[in-house]
């Protein structure tokens, strides 16, 4: 059985490296490449795939949003996040339906091992990510605070922590400003903060944004 893989990343050099790595494995093949979330959704609608390698930062939508949509449309499809981000986005990725999270700095051997594990139904994480998860659950109060956030609220909080205004967040996520304003209010309530500055501080301390 050959593992059919879709690479979703907007960096051509990185895609080339992955394509070359996968091409050396007799039991794997790159079935397609996408540079945007829309392309990824279109490709998966048109052909059967075993695994999607998903970057977090895409030009049109976040990899988290693409993952959520793919899992809703194709429940059996495995999505493995591969990112430069070693932060709280790992928890948002898991909530979106990803089966694992590995870092772009991983060795070729580690990446290939992760691909096989993900395709076979395992949950797989880079060592640094596994350590972050362990630390997260070692501090249950902080963990519960952020786990109360929905996936969309997590995305908005991450953008909030980057200093984006409500209007900029609305444009980035294709939402109305009113919707963003309401979600921000919900975030304040769940984080038990009274204003934007306090939410940003709390988010950044948790590695978000």
pLDDT tens profile 16-28: 999 999 999 999 9
The CATH superfamily label for domain 3-134 reads Response regulator (3.40.50.2300)
More confident residue, 135 or 117: 117
More confident residue, 148 or 42: 42
Which residues, in sequence order, are CB contacts of 88 under 8 Å at separation 6+? 146, 154, 206, 207, 208
Segment 118-125 mean pLDDT: 93
The answer, yes or no, to whether residue 140 has pLDDT greater than 70, is no
CA angle (89 as vertex; 68, 70 as ends), nearest 5: 15
Q: Would you kindly state where each structural domain of the chain is located, as residue ranges?
A: 3-134, 139-205
The helix (H) or strand (E) run that includes residue 2 is none
Helical ranges in 97-150 per DSSP H = 108-119, 127-138, 140-147
Numbers of helices and strands, H then E, in the chain: 11, 6
Check residue 190 and give its pLDDT.
Answer: 84
Neighbours of 204 (CB within 10 A): 13
Q: What CATH topology corresponds to 139-205?
A: Arc Repressor Mutant, subunit A (1.10.10)
């Amino acid at each position: 059985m050959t593992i059919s893989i879709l690479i979703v990343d907007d960096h051509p050099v990185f895609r080339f490296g992955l394509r070359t790595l996968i091409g050396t494995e007799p039991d794997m093949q790159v079935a397609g490449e996408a540079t945007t979330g829309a392309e990824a959704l279109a490709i998966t609608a048109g052909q059967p795939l075993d695994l999607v390698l998903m970057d977090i930062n895409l030009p049109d939508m976040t990899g988290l949003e693409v993952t959520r949509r793919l899992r809703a449309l194709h429940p059996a499809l495995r999505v493995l996040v591969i990112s430069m981000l070693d932060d709280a986005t790992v928890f948002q990725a898991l909530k979106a339906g990803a089966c694992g999270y590995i870092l772009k700095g991983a060795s070729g051997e580690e990446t290939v091992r992760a691909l096989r594990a993900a395709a076979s139904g395992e949950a797989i994480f880079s060592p640094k990510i596994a350590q972050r998860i362990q630390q997260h659950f070692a501090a249950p109060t902080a963990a519960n605070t952020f786990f109360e956030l929905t996936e969309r609220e997590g995305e908005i909080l991450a953008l909030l922590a980057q200093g984006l205004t409500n209007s900029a967040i609305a444009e980035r996520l294709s939402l109305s400003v009113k919707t963003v304003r309401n979600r921000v209010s919900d975030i304040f309530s769940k984080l038990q903060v009274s204003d934007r500055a306090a939410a940003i501080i709390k988010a950044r301390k948790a590695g978000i944004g």
